[in-house]
DNA sequence: CGAATAGTGTCTATAAGACAATATGCC
DNA sequence: GGCATATTGTCTTATAGACACTATTCG
């Protein structure tokens, strides 16, 4: 990439833009972030968040840029995608003013859909972050996306987007455990998720060396829902 | 401004960037948005949100761009400033891909600090939006910023940022009334705001034709605080 | 049967909401 | 005193949390 793009434009109007994605999944109870090889040869670390540029021939909306980048690393569709923040400053990139729109994605654990460049790295839990070294300022972006997840998981149905199609109510507890490092009591999880119109009993069971657990799936037409209390045992 | 900036750059890296600000205040119980004259001659409407471009000689951070734009219209410092979203697409601007970072500001009512270009327009309440016509897609941006306010007002200390230095607890109710069109009962407002470590009794009173009300101010070192329940009477 | 996990019953704690009762200024 | 609004008291409701108890499978 040319190192002097900025010189060719009015400094008041344009800047280098990239879209970075913090894609998280839960794998065997561990929260993980999707990374790709850092492309910049001078990067301090060799893994980075998936990132890319707007392609005006392909992208009509910013979100499409994010989805396209994600698709390079995994065929899986994100079960959740939202913007986190936009960071712009003159320090981030040596070429001058640059601007990064950060997206936050949740994926179900489907490793068979990943391309070879994809690597998932453990990030620890909210209580005990153990962030991998990432190129550029990506560790910081990762941190704020995880913070967003840790907040929203407590008053929305987001935990369900980290689970496979069919799941048990105890699986929801494990999402909390994996993300936050602690979980509300099963009683509270049942009260919140087990009733009402969020999930539906499939009638099937998951069998183990114990009493089998009912399998649920999201009710159709399910939207992300807000609850009006936080779990306090997880604060 | 040149109409063909984009032709001079790699289409993959750069886009037109602007920073738009939705600045809200409460004036005599009415929620109002700050507007300036729309600069583009072909704009359909003649008022627009305060907006501008990054100035690399003045702005190190994106937020500074927002603060600088705001200062053009009012000398008042925003009591609250946060990013709402970044909108990017190829349709918004006829010149091609453009990107807008939208900020959301709260100001105390201090009309004497405004410059002549500043005009505050009523926006109605959350229950009953009556948005003014604004140039470009600014009405849509206004709408999502107001939505953000309507949500956050219910579980944070944001209502306090729309009030003057000294205020009564009934003033907080009036903030809810002005923003949402309805308010939680005074009992609940007192429980939430009157106790604890959020506000402090100044010892002074506001006198009227009735029992005087205690005046409070924010406790020093006050941070925006989250509560762990929403008001339900305002849903 | 015992181990293990699923699921229920029930009591407590917290904060919102309803609403009555009281307080304190001005006229 | 009478009006108006501030402030307090108290009861109800909703949901989280603690924790004991019951249920159901496997081995």
- Give the model confidence (pLDDT) of B75-120 as tens digits: 999 999 999 999 998 877 777 788 999 999 999 999 999 999 999 9
- Confirm whether any atom of chain C, the nucleic acid strand, is less than 7 Å from CB of A166: no
CA distance B8 to chain A (A): 7
**pLDDT at res. B6:** 38
Which residue is the nearest neighbor of C26, CA to C1'?
A: B209
Q: Under an 8 A CB cutoff, do B91 and A60 touch?
A: yes
Can you name the residues that pair with B229 across neighbouring β-strands? A229
For residue A22, what are its two tokens? Answer: 């913090």
Report the helix count and the strand count for chain A, using DSSP H and E.
4, 9
Contact indicator for B134, B95 with CB cutoff of 8 Å: no
The token duo for A161 is 């987007």
Confidence of residue A13 (pLDDT cuts 50, 70, 90): low
Angle separating helix axes B169-180 and B138-152, nearest 10 degrees: 140
Q: What's the whole-number mean pLDDT along residues A138-166?
A: 97
Best CATH choice for the domain B3-152 from the list 3.30.470.30, 1.10.3720.10, 2.60.40.10, 3.90.79.10: 3.90.79.10
Q: Which of residues 161-190 of B touch strand D (CB under 7 A)?
A: 168-170, 186-187, 190
Best interface-test mutation with B: which of A96, A228, A231 has the largest number of B CBs within 10 A?
A228
Q: Which residue is nearest to nucleotide C25 (CA to C1')?
A: B211
Q: Beta B14-27 vs B96-106: how paired, if at all?
A: parallel
- Residue A10 CA, nucleotide D21 C1', distance (Å): 73
Burial (CB count <10 Å: 0-12, 13-18, 19+), residue A195: exposed
Whether A8 shows a pLDDT value over 90: the answer reads no
Q: Which pLDDT belongs to residue A11?
A: 42
* A141 closest CA partner among A6, A28, A24: A24
Q: Which residue is nearest to nucleotide C4 (CA to C1')?
A: A210
pLDDT of amino acid A169: 98
Which residue is nearest nucleotide D4, judged by alpha carbon to C1' distance?
Answer: B210
Considering only CB atoms, which chain A residues are within 8 Å of B91?
Answer: 60
The model's pLDDT over A210-227, given as tens digits with 9 standing for 90+, comes to: 999 999 999 988 889 999
What does the pLDDT read at residue B21? 98
Distance from residue B189 (CA) to nucleotide C16 (C1'), in Å?
A: 10
Report DSSP state, residue B221. Answer: T
Q: Which residues of A touch B230 (CB under 8 A)?
A: 228-229
Residue A71: its pLDDT value, please?
Answer: 97
User: Which tens digits make up the pLDDT trace of B14-72?
Assistant: 778 999 999 999 999 999 999 999 988 888 899 999 999 999 889 999 999 999 999 99
List of B residues 188-217 with CB within 7 A of strand C: 188, 191-192, 205, 207-212
Q: Looking at chain B, which residue has its C-alpha nearest residue A155? A: B228
What share of chain A has pLDDT > 90, as a percent? 81
Q: Which of A115, A133, A144, A148 is nearest to A48 (CA)?
A: A133
Residues B205, B225: Cα–Cα separation, whole Å: 26
Contact check, Cβ <8 Å, A56/B90 = yes
Nearest CA-CA partner of A2 in B220, B83, B13, B52? B13
Domain boundaries defined on chain A = 3-152, 158-234
CA dist A125 and A2 (Å) reads 39
CB under 8 Å to A233, separation ≥6 — which residues? A182, A183, A184, A185, A188
pLDDT of residue A166: 97
Res A42: pLDDT = 81
Percentage of residues of chain B with pLDDT beyond 90: 82
Q: Which CATH class, in words, describes the domain spanning A158-234?
A: mainly alpha
């Amino acid at each position: 990439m040319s190192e002097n793009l900025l010189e060719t434009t009015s400094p008041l109007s344009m800047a280098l833009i990239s879209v970075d994605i913090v894609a998280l999944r839960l794998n065997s109870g561990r929260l993980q972030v999707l990374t790709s090889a850092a492309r910049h040869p001078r990067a301090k670390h060799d893994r980075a968040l998936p990132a890319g540029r707007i392609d005006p021939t392909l992208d009509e909306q910013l979100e499409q840029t994010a989805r396209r980048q994600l698709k390079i690393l995994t065929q899986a569709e994100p079960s959740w995608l939202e913007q986190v923040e936009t960071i712009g400053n003159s320090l981030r990139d040596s070429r001058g003013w640059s601007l990064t729109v950060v997206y936050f994605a949740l994926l179900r654990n489907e490793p068979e859909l990943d391309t070879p460049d994809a690597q998932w790295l453990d990030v620890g839990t909210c209580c005990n972050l153990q962030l991998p070294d990432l190129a550029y300022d990506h560790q910081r972006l990762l941190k704020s996306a995880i913070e967003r997840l840790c907040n929203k998981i407590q008053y929305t149905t987001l935990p369900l987007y980290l689970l496979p199609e069919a799941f048990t109510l105890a699986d929801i507890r494990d999402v909390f455990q994996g993300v936050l490092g602690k979980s509300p009591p099963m009683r509270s999880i049942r009260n919140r998720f087990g009733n009402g119109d969020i999930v539906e009993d499939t009638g099937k069971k998951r069998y183990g060396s114990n009493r089998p657990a009912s399998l649920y799936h999201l009710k159709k037409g399910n939207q992300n829902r807000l609850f009006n209390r936080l779990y306090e045992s997880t604060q």
